Chain A
Amino acid sequence: MSEALLTWVVFLPLASVVGLALLHGSLVAFGLSRGLPDVLWRWLALAATVVTFGMSVALAAGYDATDTAFQFVAHRPWLPRWGIHYFVGLDGVGLAMLLLTTFLVPLVLIGSWTGYSRRKGYLMHVLVLETGALGAFASLNLFQFYVFFEALLVPMVFLIGVFGGPLRVRAAIKFFLFTLAGSVLFLVALLVLAVLQQQQFGGVNFDLVAVSGIPLPPILETRVPTVQAPWWQQQTWLFAACALAFAVKIPLVPLHTWLPDAHVEAPTGGSVLLAGVLLKLGAFGFVRVALPLFPVAAQQFAPVLAVVALVGILYGALLAMVQSDLKKLVAYTSISHLGFVVLGLFALNVEGLQGGILQMVNHGLSTGALFLLVGMIAERRDTREIAAFGGVAKPMPVFALFLVLITMSSIGVPMLNGFVGEFLVLLGAFERSAAVGAAATVGVVLAAIVMLSMLRRVLFGPVENPENRGLIDLDRRERAVLVAFVIPIVWIGVHPATLLRRVEPSILELLRVMDVRARASAAESEASASESSGSEAPEADGSSATVPGAAGQRARWLAAATAPAGRPEPAR
């Protein structure tokens, strides 16, 4: 049962879209009616996402936090000759992202219940996007990960380009080209990895973890040379290619220029999904792919990425300060927050990684809620100019309450979620380098200045603009959505262990794997350095790149393959 449950969670949104479309199409084709009424579309789509969320809660309840292995694993051959399998499973990190995604999507649908949720195309794209994101978060096969990672671009482009603002087409194309350009180099890195594995083991297996019954080691066991190989086979370049793909998605400065455009033009729901789900894929890609595969290069690049993240934190906050458009302001603080995420990840210690992952969830919740709030007020006034508001707290006290609360969560006030995440990230950063940590702390202060002055300008002071007097406060639907956001925000702030307890073992395991593999690479490069100290530089021919020790490893795997096959048992 547990084996199929994760697959159900991933594919239920897509299946319901296909089912609804078929039902609609057959109703039209047989002339029974003019198709499924829009109301029914809306409710059925919502029901599907709520069921998906319910099932992912069931997954979380069934998750064994003491087990470091991947859980709810399902493994089926897809294109076995190329080592491509349908392979899903969850660790703590994947679980956190899965929960965040399934939590956000129903809220997005309810949030635009009277707006775009009335349109079939909107519902279809949101649900297809959900399957794409969930598939990427649950993938344990590198090829499958790439397929989901790329495929969800398409619904997002349509969400922005069809349902967005006046410059939506330009924003959609920019978003598409940036992310595509980043990810094709990831594809090349993937192919080079396959070639390396072919050389070392005589076959390709894109699985990230071992499964009994598969004669080849997972791609994670491939030795990626650090020296003594053509440049394109070296960790540095492969890591750089992956990092570029993920950095565009996150996005890191200076690859961020698509983000403000996309956020400003996207409809509210699209913005929530973009911030809450899509941007997470980049950071998740680092955790799932780039760190374990290229540990040596990750260590080398860590200072660079930490500095880039730092620049993003400060630059994002500074740019947010001068924005006159509310949504743009939130978009730039988003860049700042994701800088914290990357800073945490590339502290490469337990605290930093925990903080980074927690911050991913936090950003999804608080920025998602902020975008919804901005959408709610923009809907009422048809403008997002900060200057057009002022004193909104008087006509809309409930709105003001929520905006203050979410802002507090976003700038990291204790007892709310943001504090725990930022604290852990800073702890991890200080452990690596006090200077970086200190500079990042400035970013915290800047973010507070930005957000608090935004609050002052929008909510407080006298009501100068007469149009603001007649503003109607949030209705029951809007309140319900925001309450749903506030619950996890407070929960994580008060009791972060609920999440961290499940994430920590996976992080320790990740660090252990990185350490083991980095040591092996170091030993190898030492051995090959002493071996070839008298000889020429490495040959350009790829076949000479077989690393010493690969033959032994291959024999070990062949022995393992002949062992009796049973239920797939993942072990990293």
Chain B
Amino acid sequence: MIPAPVLELRAVLPLGVLALGAIAVLVLDLVMLDRSRLFGRSVTRAFVGTLLSLTSAVFLIVVLVLGVQNLVHGSTAVFNVANPLVQLDPLANFGVLLVAGGTLLVCLMSVAYLAELDINHGEYYALLLLSASGMVLLVSATDLLSLFLGLEVTAIPAYVLAGFDRGRRRGNEAALKYFLLGSFASAILLYGMALLYGATGATTLEAIRQAEVASSPLALAGMGLVLVGFAFKVSSVPFHQWVPDVYEGAPASVGGFFATTVKAAAFVALLRLLAVALGEGASWVAPMLAVLAALSMIVGNTMALIQQNPKRLLGYAAIGHAGYLLLGFVAATPEAYAAVLFYLTAYLFMTLGAFAVLVALANRGHDLERIGDLAGLAKKRPALAGALTLFAISLAGIPPTAGFLAKFQLFAAVVGAGHVGLVILAVGTSVLSAFYYLRLPVLMVMREPEGPPPRLHLASGEWLVVGVCALAVVTLGLLPNGLGVDSPSLLPPALDWSRDAITALLASR
């Protein structure tokens, strides 16, 4: 007789809440649209969209609160001690905050945008929540099986979201490309996992480290393939081909979702994989990651120079940022890992902010397709232009913004690990990136307006998201650890949390 396993449901609570949220949104959508009535009153489609967005927001806020509570207490919950598939430790909680926070912002900024593009369907929010639940699984997975499950649950709704604007050929192309290349990468990843299992006889990350990957060529090959799969997910060169096409073809809000939330979750999972499954004896992986990082920085930032489509530009910029983030994995010190987490936080706000501005600029059913259309925006919409300038400055890494502090911390850790050459390359490509980021404010402020005027009225959700992101970019740049040094802090101490997450992760293995 098999004894019933002791399950700790706390470990899967965020996951459950999000999955439940997805179902609730679907049902609500079905009920309301079917009858077009709510409590005896007829409802419009716009009202339904708002209601669904707010419903999703409630579920996401619950998850956020759970994550903050867990982080404050520093607690760790393992779903099943006998067979630890899922573990909600501080690192996972940090990931949950990024995922839920990013998804929340995407939900809020989508309401008016979807209506503008005439794709105001309720599935949108359900797919976002479903993908987010996959990401929560991804960041808390301690086993190859749950890792793969998390990746797929994240990716499949994402494929659908990429082509959410069904009427547009670009969107269909993006979805198909994302799906084909994504499945291909998943297959490679799965093959690598199979090889790892064959060589080590284990699927948990902990057991794989104890089996010493480097000792067996089979396991080495397996790990290499897994890394290739992840390189695709985090959009690193040379596995980046899909990024610009998908970002360009997908609606702007979905592009922001891919660039920030999905990427953050993949990076957190990669962090756990490298730190736990490889441990210290992984000197062989550093040169490989260094090549990926260098290529991503060079190719991403160079290609971004010549882009004319703002979403495509942000896509190539995202590749460049993936290169910077990979630097942290090359250094592989606790400081570097903590810096990666902080960078992800800063990156989430500044990139999502930039996408939110694009969302707010969507006009007459179309996204902003040419960078030149930004010309003279400062005259017509000074606040929006100011916000985009702030995000561009932060993305370029100029103080006193979050982007600068994140780069500073990351580069300091990488120099500390002795990789000065890479850091010199990184600051060189940063200067290159400043060139294309600067184009945005230059166009908005220094050129005369041309073309059709932008939308006159901004939805409150869009204002809210742009404002929150701008505030976060400034606050994380000046007070990354909240207010007060020892006293209880008013703002979330992002720096302390990122450090604690890494400390707990490394101590537990």
Please give the residue numbers on chain A whose beta carbons come within 8 Å of chain B beta carbons, in ascending order: 77, 79-82, 143, 146-147, 150-151, 153-154, 157-158, 161-162, 168-169, 172-173, 176-177, 180-181, 184-185, 187-188, 191-192, 194-195, 198, 230, 232, 541-542
Contact = CB atoms under 8 A, between A and B. Distances in A.
A59 B415 CA distance: 40
B445 A232 contact: no
B303 interface: no
A191 B399 contact: no
Contacts of B416: 191, 194-195, 198
Given A151-B400, A169-B442, A180-B398, 13 more contacts: A79-B495, A80-B485, A150-B404, A154-B393, A173-B442, A177-B431, A180-B434, A185-B427, A187-B411, A188-B423, A188-B427, A191-B423, A192-B420
Nearest to B427: A184
15 contacts: A77-B485, A80-B485, A82-B409, A151-B400, A176-B434, A180-B431, A181-B431, A184-B430, A187-B427, A188-B411, A188-B415, A188-B420, A191-B412, A195-B415, A198-B416
Contacts of B420: 188, 192, 230, 232
Contact of B398 (A143, A151, A173): A151
Nearest to A231: B420
Nearest to B484: A77
A181 B428 CA distance: 7
Contact of A176 (B408, B438, B485): B438
A147 B400 contact: yes
The winner among B430, B445, B495 for most chain A CB atoms within 10 A is B445
A150 B398 contact: yes
B442 A161 contact: yes
From A150, A168, A180, A198, name the one whose CB has the most chain B CB atoms within 10 angstroms: A180
A201 to B, nearest CB: 14
B contacts with A: majority SS? helix
A176 B393 CA distance: 12
A219 to B, nearest CB: 13
Contacts of A187: 408, 411, 427
A162 B446 contact: yes
| A interface majority secondary structure | helix
Query: Nearest 4 A-B pairs (CB), nearest first?
Result: A184-B427, A147-B399, A191-B415, A232-B420
Interface of B: 393, 398-400, 404, 408-409, 411-412, 415-416, 418, 420, 423-424, 427-428, 430-431, 434-435, 438, 441-442, 445-447, 480-481, 485, 495
A77 B434 CA distance: 30
A160 to B, nearest CB: 9
B356 to A, nearest CB: 20
Contacts of B423: 188, 191
B380 to A, nearest CB: 15
B446 A161 contact: yes
Contacts of A79: 480-481, 495
* Best-buried of B398, B446, B485 by chain A (most CB within 10 Å): B446
Contacts of B400: 147, 151
A81 B334 CA distance: 15
A158 B399 contact: no
B412 A194 contact: yes
A198 B480 CA distance: 22
Nearest to B434: A180
B79 to A, nearest CB: 34
A185 B408 CA distance: 12
Contacts of B442: 161, 169, 172-173
A206 to B, nearest CB: 11
A169 B445 CA distance: 10
Contacts of B480: 79
Nearest to A157: B438
A80 B434 CA distance: 29
Contacts of A230: 418, 420
A147 B399 CA distance: 6
A195 B446 CA distance: 41
Given A79-B481, A184-B428, A188-B420, A151 B415 contact: no
Nearest to B412: A191
A134 to B, nearest CB: 15
A40 B109 CA distance: 37
A177 B435 contact: yes
Contacts of A184: 427-428, 430-431
Contacts of B446: 161-162, 168-169, 172
Contacts of A169: 442, 446-447
A127 to B, nearest CB: 16
A306 to B, nearest CB: 28
A191 B446 CA distance: 35
Contacts of A147: 399-400, 404
Contacts of A146: 399
A415 to B, nearest CB: 43
A187 B411 CA distance: 9
A138 B400 CA distance: 17
A541 B418 contact: yes
A450 B22 CA distance: 77
A416 to B, nearest CB: 39
A77 B447 CA distance: 42
Contacts of A180: 398, 431, 434
Contact of B411 (A151, A176, A191): A191
A80 B480 CA distance: 12
A51 B196 CA distance: 70
Contact of B424 (A143, A161, A188): A188
Contacts of B427: 184-185, 187-188
Given A177-B431, A181-B431, A150 B415 contact: no
A147 B393 CA distance: 13
A81 B495 CA distance: 10
Contacts of B418: 230, 541-542
A146 B398 CA distance: 10
A181 B397 CA distance: 12
Nearest to A192: B415
A173 B445 contact: no
Contacts of B409: 82
B445 A151 contact: no
B454 to A, nearest CB: 19
A45 to B, nearest CB: 18
B290 to A, nearest CB: 16
B106 to A, nearest CB: 27
A194 B481 CA distance: 20
Contacts of A151: 398-400
A466 to B, nearest CB: 35
Contacts of B495: 79, 81
